[in-house]
Amino acid sequence: MAGSDRALMAGVPELLLLQLLARRTMYGYELAQQVRLASRDTLAFGESVLYPALHSLEQRRLLQTRERTVDGRVRIYYELTAKGSTRLTQLTAEWRRIATGVEAVLAAGPHG
Amino acid sequence: MAGSDRALMAGVPELLLLQLLARRTMYGYELAQQVRLASRDTLAFGESVLYPALHSLEQRRLLQTRERTVDGRVRIYYELTAKGSTRLTQLTAEWRRIATGVEAVLAAGPHG
DNA sequence: TGATATACATCGTATAACGAGGTATATAAT
DNA sequence: ATTATATACCTCGTTATACGATGTATATCA
């Protein structure tokens, strides 16, 4: 542990990417924008987080891709697989468990 | 990213340890119990998380220690420093920001 | 011509949770 | 006496992961 606030973001990209793709198929750049929008400008992650995360998700068969060229630009659309859907359910539950626990501890003390 | 649910726990030990020690001075073993209690058995972390986290926090001067022997057993009491208190405020705000953002995204989609 | 937006990508660094394993004392049960 | 459990500390190795910096290329607008 070394005190970068970054730590609390761990796992969040995976959760949000799966969640957004559960609504509809999107491509990388679009996902980056949707993270900002859906989180009301509270969260955002750069391309060095976004693309490795998407590649990892794809490699684990939680997402599958479909390439398309629009206006001379290549877009790689990501789609949630059945496995990805299962994972989303699991990860969401895990998030809720942790968030509940953390809130319980915070509420108990000062700074409540 | 490789799909262990563990990722979402990142940063949580630091936050909870600082939070618990803001209430009162405690030693390691006691802290482990208090994490379970204060989180209503929702969260727990083992000694391989607890002790390295405490050592890191101490090294960063967010905690300071005071050794005491009770009933033939050595206990190392951890106390929040001023710097630790500042850090707690900061980390708590960071947690709330992220939690708010994640909830906003989750609420927008299915699994709402 | 230059700036900005779109659209993809990787490398390196720093860091961090956790299982497994280790040492040692006090106390309660068999 | 012996065994088991609780208390109390610790570290090593594995695995993972967010992020800044950096790179490539096209479309559009000033």
CA distance A18 to A11: 11
- Measured in degrees and rounded to the nearest 5, phi and psi for residue B95 equal -60, -45
Predicted TM-score (pTM) of this structure: 0.94
Q: Is A11 on the interface with B (CB under 8 A)?
A: yes
Give the CA count within 13 Å in the CB-facing half-sphere of A69: 2
Residue B67 distance to chain A (closest CA, Å): 23
Contact between B88 and B19 (Cβ < 8 Å) = yes
pLDDT value of position B52: 98
pLDDT value of position B77: 98
Residues lower than pLDDT 50 in chain A: none
Q: What is the mean pLDDT of each run of 10 residues along chain B (112 residues)?
A: 81 98 98 97 96 98 97 94 98 98 90 54
Residue B80 structure tokens: 């929040």
pLDDT value of position B40: 95
Contact between A39 and A9 (Cβ < 8 Å) = no
CB A78 under 7 Å to nucleic chain C? no
pLDDT value of position B5: 82
pLDDT value of position A5: 84
Q: Which residue of A has its CA nearest to B12?
A: A8
* Burial status of residue A51 (CB atoms within 10 A of its CB: 0-12, 13-18, 19 or more): middle
- What residues contact B105, with CB distance under 8 A and at least 6 apart? A16, A19, A20, A35, A38, A39, A43
Listed as ranges, the nucleotides of chain D within 7 A of a protein C-beta are 7-13, 15-23, 26-28
Nearest to B42 among A2, A97, A106 (CB): A97
pLDDT value of position A72: 86
Contacts of A94 in chain B (CB under 8 A): 5, 8
- What residues contact B85, with CB distance under 8 A and at least 6 apart? B22
pLDDT value of position A8: 98
B109/A2 CB distance under 8 A: no
CA distance A39 to B109: 11
CA distance A18 to B62: 36
Nearest to B16 among A35, A43, A105 (CB): A105
Q: Is A39 on the interface with B (CB under 8 A)?
A: yes
- Among the listed residues A49, A101, A56, A45, the one whose alpha carbon sits nearest the alpha carbon of residue B9: A101
